[in-house]
Amino acid sequence: MKKWLALLLSFLLLTPCALGEEADPEEIYAQSDAQAVEEETIIDPGELPDYVEWLLEVARGELGYTEGPNNYSKYGEWAGDANAAWCAEFVCWCVNQVDEIHGTSLLRNNYPFWGGQNTGRDWFLKRGRFVYRKGNCPDWGYQWLRGDDHYLVKNEYIPRPGDLLFFSYNEAGDTAHVAIVEYCARDGEGEVILHVIEGNNPSCVQRNAYRLNNSQVLGFGLPEDRVDTVMRLGNKGDKVLWLQQMLHDLGYLEEIHLTGGFGSHTKQAVIAFQKTVLERTETSGIADRETLQAIEEMWNQEQDADPDNWLVE
């Protein structure tokens, strides 16, 4: 970790954005509300996968790149639309560079390949890896970090380097901009500052800084599985399928209902578990934190007790 912090500090000289074409005054861009200051204290993110530093190294190498006429960028051209608004394309291009240089398979696995509004957010949501800044996922419910004993509260989740920061400029929560988190810090007053590398804001690749409590910060896409979310009738995604698989293995759900969609059969299976294991007199069929953690704990115990899962050397 000391090595990571030393590498980070060596890159913190801000690279100015080259002058490009004048931005359209009617366009809206993420508004930075913080700057790097000497009294900041960098927040230790803990152990990080090697690919995070590789990704940041690629992104840093692009600092200062400026778009051409008609919003042209090499990132948009690479993605298939040379004149597209290119904040997402920049992220995808950087991830793809890591894959090509290091032989990884991050794009479409750890990170999405996308370019349209909400598409990147929805990709993370489907995989259960999008954390809302307010700790509550619309149409799903409250969120918590895996293994934690409480739900996240507003501004509690502090992103790690390599997370993607998504912005929204309307009440509907539609995504309008994205950036790569480089590191986070606390200022002299203890407020969390998100330091990012971003493209197309408004016309170049640059570093920027935002306060965690900035109202434009919608949430974060995580390249690793670190968060869980309440699940209920109508939800669809990988986490729903994982819940169904555990319920099936525990004898609460038939295999035919392993669909990835939280339907009536999954709800009844959750109710049965809540009655028999949690001994709840009032059941909702909503897979809340207590229910999900109890299901996973029982499932892990059964897996450990199954001789077919024992590793024999």
pLDDT tens digits, 15-30 = 444 333 333 433 445 6
**Lowest model confidence (mean pLDDT) among 16-25, 164-173, 184-193:** 16-25
- Residue 260 tokens, joined: 């990835």
State residue 17's pLDDT score. Answer: 46
Distance CA 302, CA 71 (A): 56
Q: Mean of the pLDDT values across residues 239-268?
A: 98
Whose CA is closest to 29, among 203, 239, 261? 203
State residue 27's pLDDT score. Answer: 46
Q: Coil, helix or strand for 48?
A: coil
Bond before 202 cis per omega within 30 degrees: yes
Helices (H), the chain: 2-10, 50-61, 74-79, 87-102, 119-126, 238-249, 264-276, 289-305
- Interhelix angle 238-249/289-305, nearest 10 degrees: 50
**Lowest model confidence (mean pLDDT) among 2-16, 99-113, 143-157, 209-223:** 2-16
Whose CA is closest to 250, among 294, 308, 307? 294
Distance CA 15, CA 309 (A): 52
Q: Mean of the pLDDT values across residues 186-208?
A: 95
Q: Which residue has the higher pLDDT, 36 or 46?
A: 46
Q: Which residue has the higher pLDDT, 3 or 226?
A: 226
| Sequence-separated (6 or more) residues with CB below 8 Å from residue 57 | none
Residue 130 has pLDDT above 90, yes or no: yes
Distance CA 168, CA 73 (A): 23
For 51-95, write each residue's pLDDT tens digit.
999 999 999 999 999 999 999 999 999 999 999 999 999 999 999
Q: How far is CA 127 from the centre of its chain?
A: 10
- Residue 93 tokens, joined: 């291009």
- Please identify which residue in the block is written with the tokens 């299901």: 295
| Sequence-separated (6 or more) residues with CB below 8 Å from residue 196 | 165, 179, 180, 181, 182, 207, 208, 209, 210
Furthest CA-CA distance within the chain: 67
Q: Which residue has the higher pLDDT, 295 or 2?
A: 295
For 276-303, write each residue's pLDDT tens digit.
999 999 999 999 999 999 999 999 999 8
Average model confidence (pLDDT) for the chain? 90
Q: Coil, helix or strand for 199?
A: coil
Whose CA is closest to 175, among 133, 228, 140? 133
Give CB contacts under 8 A, 24+ apart, made by 41-46: 41/185, 41/186, 42/5, 42/8, 42/9, 42/183, 42/184, 42/185, 43/158, 43/183, 43/184, 43/185, 43/186, 43/192, 44/1, 44/5, 45/4, 45/160, 45/161, 45/183, 45/184, 46/1, 46/160
Residue 313 has pLDDT above 80, yes or no: no
In the chain the domains, ranked by start, together with CATH numbers, are 2-228 (no CATH), 230-305 (1.10.101.10)
Distance CA 133, CA 88 (A): 20
- Select the highest-mean-pLDDT range: 1-5, 34-38, 177-181: 177-181
- CB-CB neighbours of 74 under 10 Å: 16
State residue 311's pLDDT score. Answer: 59
How large a percentage of the chain has pLDDT more than 70?
87
- CB-CB neighbours of 139 under 10 Å: 8
Torsion angle defined by CA atoms of residues 145, 148, 154 and 158, in that order, rounded to the nearest 10 degrees: -50
